[in-house]
């Protein structure tokens, strides 16, 4: 999504200066990782997780910073970021909802759970963020909990056996 | 046990004994249940003796390929002066499979113990456990268990005073099914895109960071402490007639059964008994239509094949499919198989790493043709076209993702031809809007 690269650069509004992610405690955490891998490059996935944890997504400047601290090029880092589905290359809602719709969940009614999630969050479509910025709903492939259809992830909370009826109640805890 | 259900008398509970027992999760709780005795025992053995014991047990890889574990370990070079690595494959993402998740959630120290024994046996000082990014709870539990194990001296520079160093590093994936393929996993740990590598060289020759590496599945490694504690002969004896498939297997059952869950059975247990007795059979008024027994990457079985199938590596092959990871997707007569096959091919199209043409193009076109059929716009030649595509996608790529996409299509057309014809001949109303 190339458009995401320009997010925050709306006409007339100067871009906020980029605040580095790897300072203080986070820098210490990154340096502790260097001991655990024989190359700096191998710290790339964990470093990207740290950027996403700090910023909610992985902006272009975050890619450049990771490239800098690990001795890689921004183009290389971007190539890796875009391979993995869990790294957000554009901002998402305050709460990110992933719902499994692969066959085992599909035959147990996952599509109705998707509909309920879209309806209750106000997200217009899959991948979109609600107008209040509260939720983004994404359809994902197998979450590995097929015996507990339909599983969803809200941020880091893994919730099993979700039915359309349960959806309104589940969302209440996420403001 | 049939977690989340109580254990069924037909099960043989070894790995799943403490599923649901929160007190077994801590280091102290695990030690109280006899944990870490196997690691201590193993450290008093020679690495060769451990490999021999595992070879004799008949243990085979539980991730899907069924390769003999002891033999795999014996491929690791000796005295080569290079570092060696163990990688634990905890990237469980094969649709239908959810057993490794429960192992990590409930018995994290059992897995760590297995990792430590295996690392010692193959001459590795470091083990990476690659956990898929979506597994937030297993990640939390395993991370806590690693910290506890270091604090207790069960991991670190001097494991239980043996003078041996064994480190375990948890590596979190970031959303990519293909990273469950062992060479893609190594690339992912190295900080690369998860593209599978051409073999040879095999991981035991040049694996992670270019040095000898062994990759084992969570369930495989978790079985190792039991083999060390109770002996190869005991494990080998867990077998209902076929000496090539030994031990217990966690079977994840999902879909249209009354009690989906993880059931641990002795190799050779009849599939019919598992589905209709342990899992409570179909919902009222429904009959069994099809089963995909080994995770979504294996051929679909029809009811007649299920009826006579024994659950072990050879038994499932004899009934037209493969045991794979033993993630069993059960479908009753309410299922639109053409639609579900399309849904599976969409999964593979989404997850293709796209480096091989046959896979990149084949998975995408297969799902588009199936969508066209489902929209009532199929052409008479579409079934043959799908089979031709499948032929081009089988055995022609770097890894088997492409083959996995072809498997449900080919078996679906072979065994459920009438369902495709019903759409093609307009006898069934379209299940999808025009595409």
Cβ A36–B167 below 8 Å, yes or no?
yes
Mutate: best of B188, B191, B290, partner A, most A CBs <10 A: B191
Cβ A84–B173 below 8 Å, yes or no?
yes
Mutate: best of A36, A106, A142, A143, partner B, most B CBs <10 A: A142
Taking a C-beta distance cutoff of 8 angstroms, is the pair B127, B169 a contact? yes
Cβ A39–B327 below 8 Å, yes or no?
no
Q: Which of B93, B252, B340 sits opposite A147 (nearest CB)?
A: B252
- How large is the average pLDDT for residues B354-366? 98
DSSP code, position B94:
S
SS3 category, B330: strand
Size of interface A-B (CB pairs under 8 A): 143
Tens-place pLDDT, residues B152-204: 999 999 999 999 999 999 999 999 999 999 999 999 999 999 999 999 999 99
B285-314 residues touching A, CB cutoff 8 A: 296
Taking a C-beta distance cutoff of 8 angstroms, is the pair B265, B12 a contact? yes
Closest chain A residue to B3, measured at CA: A147
Cβ A45–B252 below 8 Å, yes or no?
no
Q: Which of A49, A146, A156 sits opposite B95 (nearest CB)?
A: A146
> With respect to CATH, is domain A95-171 assigned 3.20.20.10?
no
Q: Write down the pLDDT at residue A17.
A: 84
B39-68 residues touching A, CB cutoff 8 A: none
- How large is the average pLDDT for residues B417-422? 97
Strands A152-154 and A95-100 come out as antiparallel
What confidence tier does B19 reach under pLDDT thresholds 50, 70, 90?
very high
Cβ B95–A142 below 8 Å, yes or no?
yes
Closest chain A residue to B330, measured at CA: A104
Helix (H) or strand (E) holding A44: helix A44-55
Helix (H) or strand (E) holding B128: strand B126-131
Among the listed residues B348, B371, B367, B346, the one whose alpha carbon sits nearest the alpha carbon of residue B431: B371
Instruction: Give the separation between CA B400 and CA B402, rounded to whole angstroms.
Output: 5
Q: What is the length of chain A? A: 175
Structure tokens at B178: 């293909």
Cβ B335–A38 below 8 Å, yes or no?
no
Asked whether residue B131 carries a pLDDT value surpassing 70, the answer given is yes
- How large is the average pLDDT for residues B128-155? 98
Show the 3-state SS of A47-88: HHHHHHHHHCCCCHHHHHHHHHHHCCCHHHHHHHHCCCCCCC
Phi, psi of B232 (to 5 degrees): -60, -35
Tens-place pLDDT, residues A63-93: 999 999 999 999 999 999 999 999 999 999 9
DSSP B234-290: HHHH--SS-TTS-SEEEEEEEESSSS-EEEEEETTEEHHHIIIIIT--SSTT--EEE
- How large is the average pLDDT for residues B313-326? 97
Q: What is the length of chain B? A: 435
- Give the angle B350-B353-B354 at the CA atoms, nearest 5°: 95
Cβ B175–A140 below 8 Å, yes or no?
yes
**How much is the ipTM here?**
0.95
Q: Write down the pLDDT at residue B5.
A: 87
Asked whether residue B433 carries a pLDDT value surpassing 50, the answer given is yes
Q: Write down the pLDDT at residue B4.
A: 86
- How large is the average pLDDT for residues B405-423? 97
Phi, psi of B270 (to 5 degrees): -65, 135
Note the Cα B364 to chain centre separation in Å: 24
Task: Measure A9 CA to nearest chain B CA, in Å.
Answer: 28
SS3 category, B134: coil
Q: Write down the pLDDT at residue A12.
A: 52
User: Hey, is the C-beta of B193 within 8 angstroms of any chain A C-beta?
Assistant: yes
Asked whether residue B225 carries a pLDDT value surpassing 70, the answer given is yes
SS3 category, B136: helix
What confidence tier does B223 reach under pLDDT thresholds 50, 70, 90?
very high
Share the mean pLDDT of chain B: 97
Tracing tokens 């995408």 back to the chain, one arrives at B364
Instruction: Give the separation between CA A123 and CA A134, rounded to whole angstroms.
Output: 9
Asked whether residue A2 carries a pLDDT value surpassing 50, the answer given is no
- How large is the average pLDDT for residues B191-218? 98
Kindly state the greatest CA–CA separation across chain A.
Answer: 52
Asked whether residue A13 carries a pLDDT value surpassing 70, the answer given is no
Cβ B174–A85 below 8 Å, yes or no?
yes
Cβ B260–A143 below 8 Å, yes or no?
no
Asked whether residue A16 carries a pLDDT value surpassing 80, the answer given is no
Structure tokens at B109: 């120290």
* Burial grade of A8 (CB within 10 A; 0-12, 13-18, 19 or more): middle
Taking a C-beta distance cutoff of 8 angstroms, is the pair A77, A87 a contact? no
Among the residue ranges A4-8, B87-91, B337-341, the one predicted with the least confidence is: A4-8
Cβ A106–B340 below 8 Å, yes or no?
yes
What confidence tier does A170 reach under pLDDT thresholds 50, 70, 90?
very high
Taking a C-beta distance cutoff of 8 angstroms, is the pair B259, B281 a contact? no
Q: Write down the pLDDT at residue A14.
A: 63
Q: Which of A37, A39, A107 sits opposite B255 (nearest CB)?
A: A107
Q: Write down the pLDDT at residue B3.
A: 83
Q: How many CA atoms lie within 13 A of A161 on its CB side?
A: 4
pLDDT higher for A62 or A10? A62
Instruction: Give the predicted TM-score (pTM) of the model.
Output: 0.96
Cβ A144–B353 below 8 Å, yes or no?
no
Cβ B134–A70 below 8 Å, yes or no?
no
Domain ranges in chain A are: 2-7+17-81, 95-171
What confidence tier does B432 reach under pLDDT thresholds 50, 70, 90?
confident
Would you identify the CATH topology of the domain A2-7+17-81? Arc Repressor Mutant, subunit A (1.10.10)
Closest chain B residue to A41, measured at CA: B191
B252-291 residues touching A, CB cutoff 8 A: 252-256, 260-262
Q: How many Cβ atoms sit within 10 Å of the Cβ of residue B49?
A: 12
Contacts 24+ apart (CB under 8 A), B381-389: B382/B424, B383/B413, B383/B417, B383/B420, B383/B421, B383/B424, B386/B413, B387/B413, B389/B362, B389/B365
Q: Which of A104, A140, A144 sits opposite B92 (nearest CB)?
A: A144
Among the listed residues B258, B257, B262, the one whose alpha carbon sits nearest the alpha carbon of residue B218: B262
Taking a C-beta distance cutoff of 8 angstroms, is the pair B141, B25 a contact? yes
- How large is the average pLDDT for residues B218-242? 97
User: Hey, is the C-beta of A48 within 8 angstroms of any chain B C-beta?
Assistant: yes
Asked whether residue A57 carries a pLDDT value surpassing 60, the answer given is yes
Asked whether residue B135 carries a pLDDT value surpassing 50, the answer given is yes
Contacts 24+ apart (CB under 8 A), A49-56: A49/B172, A49/B174, A50/A21, A50/A22, A50/A26, A51/A21, A52/A87, A52/A88, A54/A21, A54/A26, A55/A21, A56/A88, A56/A91, A56/A92
Cβ A144–B93 below 8 Å, yes or no?
yes
Instruction: Give the separation between CA A102 and CA B121, rounded to whole angstroms.
Output: 38
Percentages helix, strand, coil for chain B (3-state, rounded to 5) are 45, 15, 40
**Which residues, in sequence order, are bridge partners of residue B85?**
B126, B213
Q: Write down the pLDDT at residue A15.
A: 66
**Which residues, in sequence order, are bridge partners of residue B76?**
none
> Which residues in chain A have their CB less than 8 angstroms from residue B353's CB?
83
- The domains located in chain B, with CATH, are 34-237 (3.40.50.11540), 248-332 (3.10.20.600), 337-424 (1.20.1440.230)
Closest chain A residue to B351, measured at CA: A141
Taking a C-beta distance cutoff of 8 angstroms, is the pair B175, B350 a contact? no
In chain B, % of residues over pLDDT 90: 97
In chain B, % of residues over pLDDT 70: 99
What confidence tier does A10 reach under pLDDT thresholds 50, 70, 90?
very low
Asked whether residue A61 carries a pLDDT value surpassing 90, the answer given is yes
DSSP code, position B130:
E
Q: Write down the pLDDT at residue A9.
A: 45
User: Hey, is the C-beta of A41 within 8 angstroms of any chain B C-beta?
Assistant: yes
Asked whether residue B1 carries a pLDDT value surpassing 90, the answer given is no
> Which residues in chain B have their CB less than 8 angstroms from residue A147's CB?
4, 98, 252-254, 260-262
Q: How many Cβ atoms sit within 10 Å of the Cβ of residue A60?
A: 15
SS3 category, B193: coil
Q: Write down the pLDDT at residue A3.
A: 39
Tens-place pLDDT, residues B40-83: 999 999 999 999 999 999 999 999 999 999 999 999 999 999 99
User: Hey, is the C-beta of A73 within 8 angstroms of any chain B C-beta?
Assistant: no
- How large is the average pLDDT for residues B382-390? 98
Closest chain A residue to B254, measured at CA: A147
Asked whether residue A6 carries a pLDDT value surpassing 50, the answer given is no
């Amino acid at each position: 999504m190339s458009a995401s690269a320009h997010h925050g650069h709306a006409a007339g509004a100067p871009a906020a200066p980029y605040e580095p992610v790897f300072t203080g405690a986070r820098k210490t955490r990154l340096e502790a990782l260097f001991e655990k891998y024989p190359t700096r490059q191998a710290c790339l996935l964990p470093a990207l997780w740290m950027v996403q944890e700090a910023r909610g997504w992985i902006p272009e400047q975050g890619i450049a910073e990771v490239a800098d601290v690990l001795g890689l090029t921004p183009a290389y880092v971007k190539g890796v970021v875009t391979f993995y589905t869990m790294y957000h290359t554009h901002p998402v809602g305050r709460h990110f909802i992933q719902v499994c719709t692969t066959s085992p969940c599909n035959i147990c009614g996952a599509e109705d759970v998707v509909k309920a999630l879209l309806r209750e969050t106000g997200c217009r479509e899959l991948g979109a963020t609600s107008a209040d910025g509260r939720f983004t709903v994404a359809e994902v492939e197998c979450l590995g909990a097929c015996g507990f259809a339909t599983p969803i992830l809200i941020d880091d909370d893994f919730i099993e056996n979700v039915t359309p009826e349960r959806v309104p109640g589940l969302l209440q805890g996420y403001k | 046990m049939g977690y989340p259900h109580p254990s069924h008398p037909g099960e043989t509970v070894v790995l799943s004994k403490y599923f649901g027992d929160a007190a077994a999760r801590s280091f102290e709780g695990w030690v109280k249940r006899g944990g870490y005795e196997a690691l201590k025992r193993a450290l008093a053995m020679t690495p060769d003796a451990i490999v021999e014991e595992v070879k004799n047990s008949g243990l085979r890889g539980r991730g899907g390929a069924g390769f003999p574990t002891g033999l795999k370990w014996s491929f690791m070079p000796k005295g080569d002066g290079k570092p060696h690595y163990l990688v634990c494959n905890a990237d469980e993402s094969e649709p239908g499979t959810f057993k490794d998740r429960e192992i990590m959630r409930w018995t994290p120290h059992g897995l760590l113990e297995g990792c430590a024994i295996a690392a010692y046996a193959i001459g590795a000082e470091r083990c990476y456990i690659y956990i898929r990014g979506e597994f937030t709870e297993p990640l939390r539990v395993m991370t806590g268990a690693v910290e506890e194990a270091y604090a207790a001296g069960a991991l670190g520079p001097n494991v239980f005073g043996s003078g041996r160093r064994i480190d375990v590093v948890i590596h979190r994936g970031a959303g990519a099914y293909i990273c469950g393929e062992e060479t893609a996993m190594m690339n992912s740990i190295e900080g690369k895109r998860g593209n599978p590598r051409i073999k040879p060289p095999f991981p035991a020759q040049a694996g992670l960071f270019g040095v000898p590496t062994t990759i084992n599945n969570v369930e495989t490694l978790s079985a190792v402490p039991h083999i060390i504690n109770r002996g190869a002969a005991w494990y080998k004896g867990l077998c209902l007639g076929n000496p090539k498939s030994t031990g217990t297997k966690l079977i994840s059952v999902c879909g249209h059964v009354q009690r989906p869950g993880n059931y641990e059975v002795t190799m050779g247990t009849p599939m019919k008994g598992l589905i209709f007795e342990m899992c409570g059979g179909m919902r009222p008024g429904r009959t069994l239509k099809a089963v995909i027994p080994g995770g979504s990457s294996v051929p679909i079985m029809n009811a007649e094949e299920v009826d006579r199938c024994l659950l072990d590596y050879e038994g499932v092959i004899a009934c037209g499919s493969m045991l794979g990871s033993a993630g069993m997707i059960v479908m009753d007569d309410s299922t639109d198989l053409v639609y579900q096959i399309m849904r599976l091919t969409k999964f593979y199209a989404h997850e293709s790493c796209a480096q091989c043409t046959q896979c990149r193009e084949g998975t995408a076109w297969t799902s588009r043709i199936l969508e066209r059929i489902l929209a009532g716009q199929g052409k008479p030649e579409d079934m043959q076209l799908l089979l031709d595509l499948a032929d081009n996608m089988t055995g022609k790529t770097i890894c088997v993702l492409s083959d996995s996409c072809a498997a449900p299509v080919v078996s679906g057309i072979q065994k459920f031809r009438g369902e495709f014809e019903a759409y093609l001949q307009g006898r069934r109303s379209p299940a999808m809007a025009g595409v």
